[in-house]
Amino acid sequence: MAAKYFIGQKVKIKPVHIEHDASPRDCAIDAYADQTGEITNYYWISPRIGEVFNIYMVRVGTGLAEIALHEDEIEANESRKSLKTRD
For 41-79, how does the pLDDT look when each residue is reduced to its tens digit (9 = 90+)? 999 999 899 899 999 999 998 778 899 999 999 999 875
State the pairing for strand pair 36-45/10-13.
antiparallel
Among 45, 16, 41, smallest CA distance to 30 is for 16
* Cα(8)–Cα(10) distance, integer angstroms: 7
Q: Where are the domains of the chain?
A: 10-82
* Cα(41)–Cα(59) distance, integer angstroms: 9
Residue 11 and residue 46 in contact, taking contact as beta carbons nearer than 8 Å? no
pTM for this entry: 0.77
The sign of the dihedral angle between the CA atoms of 72, 53, 37, 80 is negative
